[in-house]
Amino acid sequence: MRKLSYLIIVCLCLCSGVIPLMARQVTAFNTGWQFKKGPFATDPMRAASQWDGKWETVEIPHTWNAMDMQVQSGSFYEGAGYYRKTQFFPHDLEGKRVFLRFEGVGACAEVYVNGKLAGTHKGGYSAFACEIGTALKLGAENEIIVKADNKARPDVIPVNQNLFGVYGGIYRPVWLIVTEQNNITVTDCASPGVYITQKDVSKKSADITVKVKLDNAGLQPAAVTLENTIYTQEGQKVGTHSRSFDLSPQGTQTYLSTFKLKNPHLWQGRKDPYLYKVVCRLMADGKVIDEVVQPLGVRKYEIVAGKGFFLNGEKYSMYGVTRHQDWWGLGSALKNEHHDFDLAAIMDVGATTVRFAHYQQSDYLYSRCDTLGLIIWAEIPCVNRVTGYETENAQSQLRELIRQSFNHPSIYVWGLHNEVYQPHEYTAALTRSLHDLAKTEDPDRYTVSVNGYGHMDHPVNLNADIQGMNRYFGWYEKKIQDIKPWVEQLEKDYPYQKLMLTEYGADANLAHQTEYLGDALNWGKPFYPETFQTKTHEYQWSIIKDHPYIIASYLWNMFDFAVPMWTRGGVPARNMKGLITFDRKTKKDSYFWYKANWSEEPVLYLTQRRNADREKRTTAVTVYSNIGTPKVYLNGQELSGIRNGYTDVHYVFDNVSLADGKNILKAVVSTKGKEYTDEIEWNYSGEKNREIDSYENKNEHSGF
């Protein structure tokens, strides 16, 4: 039965399968796995008897932390888990090369094939590939065992689980790759083996270089031809370069092709994310023996201190959000449909740029950003703390990130670290080494490091191309309004520095609502009103948009996410700074604030619909409208006294007097022959007093 299943898989792959790549066969390897959570008393690789007992049948993606890391602070399993799969490999694979490519295993992995160690990997967010052909028994069943361990280690970043949880398991897809003896390399940091660079990009021309790494696993030089071709999005050939040579069996070989595109169709972000296609074919005896296809978005990124971000020579608005990958009830074991859902929300709110924090995320996600036109920031999980033992691993993870993601036109910057401080001297040196590595691997993209303090002369700063700062005015420090003097002082003192506001915002527990709001909230208390989050974003975006010195801003966060070491705001293991709840079911008021300000889609929205049990008879009504001045009716009577708020989509009615009992508010805008309405219900049953603890934190501190 297993033989038949394998033959069916091969047939599907060759005929109309998962990824039809000519001689290279790429097949999903995600079913038929069994899982057993450790720890074991002895090493299960050495003690066969340990494999007896109950195993759970699972499908990849899988994590063992889907619930425990999300529901109870500090109480989750971190340690070893084991995956087992038996697979029949036919004699047809004689003379072929066989690889397993893991897109993500949390966090350290060991791969065994028939008891032989085939590969190891340290880092929960980057892909890795193992060549397993020499360990296989052809014409027989083979046992594959993967040990995954998500226990925090001082030599593997992140070195703790304080800012987010590292979910254990094989939580991204696994692929079986079969090639001929000569191939476009599979094991160059699990990259495509193809690297596309572009120079002197303009509307008139662009210089494109395609670098391909080739590998000969034989004992003799092989006569091959490498053909690199660029196609338009519509499938028309733009140019091709062919070269024949003898491929050495000693070491990986690198070959370059250069192209000059005339009048290129530029990749223009969300407006026009046009993609060419680069096809690299390796041929022998007139037949294609390997093929890799990569995207090419022809674009030029430029950052000018004090002026902003430029795409293809034109100013480009960087409306930014951040995204953690985990979902309620799923952890990080996501399918493409979950990534698509998140991207749809990000597109809907009107964002133009995304910071994927604080680690490398799915390659599928990056590919979708290429096609959607989102400009993205990719980073490694060097966060929160250093130990002195992580330098080698941080460099390794950065190298993997860059090589695996090199060809995504949507990526403009490599993130080196987030809020890493003492010891300052070590951290500064580590950042410089990461910057140097990034520039060696990819001279054409920017680098960024992020500080949670607000002053430019912090001792770990200015070791990357861009200085990011996370600022939570009104939440962790000072008052909401202090964002303005902060940025104005930086503009005055450091006009030549490239600065980004890389996190800002406030938590919002939808169960917490109040009309009583100050200018700062004591985040140490368990009361996190949604209305305070809304107030924070309303004011702070109004300052950000008027200060081009802030080259890009990234609100924290698009979605609520798990923080397994914390209990805050009355909910364990939860960061609630998202614009959308952890279960992706509810969009908070702040979501519509940004959609009204950023999106071209029509927005008419009455705020505080969840703050329905009103505390004051005389109150204010706020409306977001990007389609014109709204009319608002209270219990059928039109309100007067409308005024503009912080931006031109912000409308406020002050001193609105509620009736006893139920009150119906209705907003109406008529534009272009269409009427838009929004309606909410409030209830008033008498005055209610609420004391909100607020304070000004003198110690500048940024959280997660």
Residue 603 contacts residue 626 (beta carbons within 8 Å): yes
Task: Check residue 137 and report its DSSP letter.
Answer: -
Report d(CA 395, CA 403) in Å as an integer.
12
DSSP labels, 465-521: SEEEEE--BTTTBS-GGGHHHHHHHHHHH-TTS-EEEEE-----BTT---S---S--
Residue 157 contacts residue 125 (beta carbons within 8 Å): no
Structure-block tokens of residue 252: 């990986």
Residue 374 contacts residue 408 (beta carbons within 8 Å): no
In degrees, rounded to 5, the angle at the alpha carbon of residue 360 between the alpha carbons of residues 163 and 558 is 60
Count the Cβ atoms, other than its own, within 10 Å of residue 654: 13
DSSP labels, 373-432: T-EEEEE---BS---SS-HHHHHHHHHHHHHHHTT-TTEEEEEEEES--SSHHHHHHHHH
Task: Work out the angle between the directed axes of helices 336-349 and 589-598 (0-180°, nearest 10).
Answer: 60
Candidate list 103, 227, 291, 419, residue with the active-site label: 419
Report d(CA 238, CA 259) in Å as an integer.
9
541-to-411, 529, 532, 593 alpha-carbon distances in Å: 24, 19, 14, 9
Structure-block tokens of residue 158: 């992140």
For 363-382, letters b (16+ CB in 10 Å) and e give bbbbbbbbbbbbbbbbbbbb
Structure-block tokens of residue 426: 């070590």
State which amino acid sits at residue 632: V
Report d(CA 607, CA 679) in Å as an integer.
10
Site of tokens 């403009």: 412
> Residue 430, by phi and psi: left (phi above 0), alpha (psi -120 to 50) or beta?
alpha
Task: Return phi, psi of residue 252, to 5°.
Answer: -70, 135
For 38-67, letters b (16+ CB in 10 Å) and e give beeeeebbeeeebbeeeeeebebbbbbbbe
Q: Is 390 a catalytic residue?
A: no
Alpha helices in 520-588 (DSSP H): 530-544
Sheet strands side by side (includes 618-625): 604-606, 618-625, 650-657, 642-644
Torsional sign, CA 340, 345, 351, 353? negative
Report d(CA 54, CA 84) in Å as an integer.
12
Of 230, 347, 346, 239, which Cα lies nearest the Cα of 297? Answer: 230
Q: Which residues form the catalytic set?
A: 419
